[in-house]
Amino acid sequence: MKKIIALLLVAVLAASSALVLASCGGNSDTGSGDTKTELHMATNAFFEPYEYYEGKKVVGIDAEIADAICKKLGCKLVIDDMEFDSIITAVSSGKADFGMAGMTVTDERKKAVDFTDSYTTATQVIIVPEEGNKVNNGDDLAKASVGVQLGTTGDIYVSDIKGASVERFSKGADAVLALTKGKVDAVVIDNEPAKAFVEQNDGIKILDEPFEKEDYAICLKKGSDLTAKINKALKELKEDGTIKKIVDKYIGD
């Protein structure tokens, strides 16, 4: 009798933990045994206002949207900060459950990962010194040295310009530092982080040059069931105004 009860108990426990796992939908192998109710988000947390450190905590639009999604899925959000150009590998290898990093949907990336629906849009912009700038428009990039963050759409864009010399940095902030020291003529980076950099550094400005619109989305391992669940959560968060509220909190106009 005792044996039967014990067996039953084990069965119930196993079933309930499987349920928790299923409801959370995580598939990252964190090696932490039974703590499968976590969802690991791969990001590069030097990209204000999307993800950046406030003390030891990663805050920002992406961090808050991810948190709201995880709450809906009944999971705990864990943020794994890494180099931007490591995110896709972390996600496609299953080391992280999803990647969210102000990441633009591109056809090239779609070969390696799946993307959710877009949650916001952005554009690239050019940052130059406020005075004595060699670059006055997009065409001038062709004869300039241009700082970018490694592996970003800014990098891809400038790398395609014949004559431009591309200086790749692991962080956008390092590219901006090089600009303020006169080591590069311009920096090409996403519009909102550019605004944050211009606010934080004297003597630089954003050129009024229109670039193509980019869609930011969350990337997942190809074929992941989590994509549909996140899309559902995103749809609800768009409809109830949560996404707009989070974006407005960080981007005042």
Site string for ligand ARG, 194-233 (x = CB under 6 A): ----------------------------------------
58 binds ligand ARG (CB under 6 A): no
Minimum CB separation of residue 194 from ligand ARG in Å reads 11
Q: What is the dihedral of CA 89, 95, 96, 97, to 10 degrees?
A: 110
Distance from C-alpha of 42 to C-alpha of 131, rounded to nearest angstrom: 38
Q: How far apart are CA 49 and CA 40, in angstroms?
A: 20
Beta strands in the chain (DSSP E): 38-43, 46-47, 51-54, 57-59, 76-81, 98-99, 113-115, 120-129, 145-149, 165-169, 186-190, 204-206, 213-216, 219-221
* Torsion, CA 190, CA 230, CA 67, CA 119, rounded to 10: 30
Minimum distance from residue 83 beta carbon to ligand ARG (Å): 9
Q: How far is the CB of 59 from ligand ARG (least distance, A)?
A: 13
Closest to 193 measured CA to CA, from 123, 135, 144: 123
Of residues 160 through 199, those in contact with ligand ARG by CB under 6 A are: 190
| Shorter beta-carbon distance to ligand ARG: residue 51 or 167 | 51
| Contact with ligand ARG (CB under 6 A) among 64, 102, 187, 204 | 102
Residues 16-45 that bind ligand ARG (CB under 6 A): 43-44
Indicate which single residue of 24, 39, 42, 47 sits in contact with ligand ARG (rule: CB under 6 A).
47
Number of residues that bind ligand ARG (CB under 6 A): 14
Q: Which is nearer to ligand ARG, 88 or 204 (CB)?
A: 88
24, 36, 41, 51: which one binds ligand ARG (CB under 6 A): 51
3-class secondary-structure state, position 189: strand
Per CB under 6 A, contacts with ligand ARG among 110-139 are none
Cβ neighbours of residue 67 closer than 8 Å, sequence gap 6 or more: 77
Which residue do the tokens 């499987």 mark? 18
Q: What CA–CA distance (Å, rounded) separates 234 from 79?
A: 18
136-155 positions binding ligand ARG, by CB under 6 A = 149, 152-153
Q: What residues make contact with ligand ARG under the rule CB under 6 A? A: 43-44, 46-47, 51, 84, 101-104, 149, 152-153, 190
